[in-house]
Amino acid sequence: MATSSELTHTGLLQRYRPVSVQTAREAYLLSERRFSRLLGFEFTSAHRTRMTSSGPRFRGWSIAVVRSTGHRIELGDDDKLSLLFPYAGRIEVSRGGTTVEAAPDDLIVVGQGRRVTRLSPDYLGVLIQIPNAAMPALHAAAQIDRPASAPNDLRLLRGRGPVLVTARHLVEELEHTARPMQREEDWLSLLSPLWTAYVDRSEAPASPSRHSAAMLHVKLAEEYMRANFHRPLSVNDMATACAVGPRALQLAFRRYRGISPIKALADLRLQQARHRLASPAATGSITRIALDCGFTHLGRFSVEYRRAFGETPSQTRRRHQ
């Protein structure tokens, strides 16, 4: 899980062309980059004023890492669903006479309409925006058999649950890949696991079946693997990320995938290695590629690769050069 100190120095703020404002006037001039209507903005610190945001945007879709010395902003986002969560500091959102406040490990979901948001000094957090018009496509991508609609209220999801875990994972994926995100398909692929987790959390019956909960844990674990396959991972790491016990995660994988979580991770790493070896533009040695894909025992990597694909890593590389 990325920490606030890690996010402060990551490439996301650099690769996605950060936007920085130091006055309210600059905020108004740049507001069209993120919001439908900016109705008010003011910094709340008298000594230093700065807000920096960075992340991909495409039409109504947006993900932004936001850092601020503290500010108040009034918005009229009439066509978007927003998710906000801090890594450091606190965020407060007021809408329709209701106010909620989130700290790290909390998440705020707010529907379309007018709202006031306040960020504490030294705030670091993430804003995700989903256009209402994309809800049918997002429902379909998430394989949800329910009417496609965007919530219009203000909700606080407290504690590190599956929705927040999934949201943080997709930020980590962008941190690692810096994908351009210039097609709706890219956004649907990235955000569909988040939408699955949100719908399960907010719209499922009060006592969801073990079947639906176990399947969600499998999907969350697989998303976590895809975002972190290059890192050393244990079953405990995956279980913690999914807010479930290791034994429950093992059983869920056995039931729905027929393999263990560790085997699923090994298969993913092999697929990633094969993809890189088969790319004509691939650079680096086979050893470097294996290490980058999370393999630490190179002899075992070669054996498992040949068992999975019927050829050695060097044969794959030669065929695609």
Cβ within 8 Å of residue 96, ≥6 positions away: 113, 154
Tell me if 175 sits within 8 A of 16, measured CB to CB: no
DSSP string covering 240-299, please? HHTTS-HHHHHHHHHHHTSS-HHHHHHHHHHHHHHHHHT-TT--S-HHHHHHHTT---HH
Tell me if 162 sits within 8 A of 93, measured CB to CB: no
Which stretches of the chain are assigned E, i.e. beta strand? 19-21, 38-43, 51-54, 57-58, 61-68, 71-77, 80-88, 91-95, 98-102, 107-110, 113-119, 123-131, 154-157
| pLDDT tens by residue, 53-82 | 888 889 889 999 999 999 999 988 888 899
Cβ within 8 Å of residue 282, ≥6 positions away: 276, 289, 317, 320
| pLDDT tens by residue, 190-230 | 898 888 778 766 654 444 444 567 888 888 898 889 888 88
Burial of 197 (0-12, 13-18, 19+ CB in 10 A): buried
Q: How far apart are CA 93 and CA 77, in angstroms?
A: 13
Q: Is the pTM of this model over 0.85?
A: no
Q: How far apart are CA 41 and CA 45, in angstroms?
A: 13
Both tokens of 195, joined, read 């939408």
Per-residue pLDDT of the chain in tens (321 residues, 90 and over written 9) = 344 334 444 444 456 778 888 988 888 887 655 566 888 999 998 778 999 888 888 988 999 999 999 999 998 888 889 999 999 999 999 988 899 999 998 999 998 888 999 999 989 999 999 999 999 899 888 777 666 666 678 899 887 777 887 788 788 777 766 677 899 998 998 898 888 778 766 654 444 444 567 888 888 898 889 888 888 899 999 988 888 888 889 888 887 787 889 999 999 999 889 888 888 777 788 999 999 899 988 888 999 998 888 889 999 888 877
Sign of the alpha-carbon torsion through 239, 240, 242, 247: positive
